[in-house]
Amino acid sequence: MTTPRDDRTEAPPTTPIPVDPAVPVPRDTHDPAVRPEPARPGGGQPGGGQPGKIRRTRISGTWVAVLASVVVLIFLLVFVLQNPTGVTIHFLGFSGTLPLGVALLFGAIAGAVLVGLVGAARIMQLRRQAKRGLH
């Protein structure tokens, strides 16, 4: 009659055991040299996500931005095509006739460019201040 073997006294493995980065490694909290990690938002997982969730990358963020831009452009195209009525525009002594949708689109673009210029000037000002603070 044979009995099943219970080999619990095996030698330790010679190759390192792979560590799953999603599973936190237990630390010895009784050792004064080991400081506990601060709690992370998102359940303590690296990257702040839940276990098994796919991490977001810059490329995925870029694709989301591209898709959002395509949707906005489609809406703008529909807006321009639905407002073909001609209007007379007077600006700095010049005058001309444009479709209403195109005129409003140009106005929106001019406003966005103006906001971008003001924002860029503020960023440059903050960078200069930060440089001066470092030296």
* Residue 41 in this model has a pLDDT that exceeds 90: no
Residue type, 116: G
Instruction: Specify the pTM.
Output: 0.46
CB count within 10 Å of CB 37 equals 9
pLDDT (tens digit, 9 = 90+) per residue, 78-109?
A: 988 898 888 998 889 899 998 988 888 888 89
Instruction: Name the percent of the chain lying above pLDDT 70.
Output: 60
Dist. CA 38–CA 29, nearest whole Å? 13
Dist. CA 100–CA 109, nearest whole Å? 14
| DSSP three-state, residue 72 | helix
Residue 120 binned pLDDT confidence (cut-offs 50, 70, 90):
very high
* Residue 40 in this model has a pLDDT that exceeds 60: no
| 55 and 47 Cβ atoms separated by less than 8 Å | yes
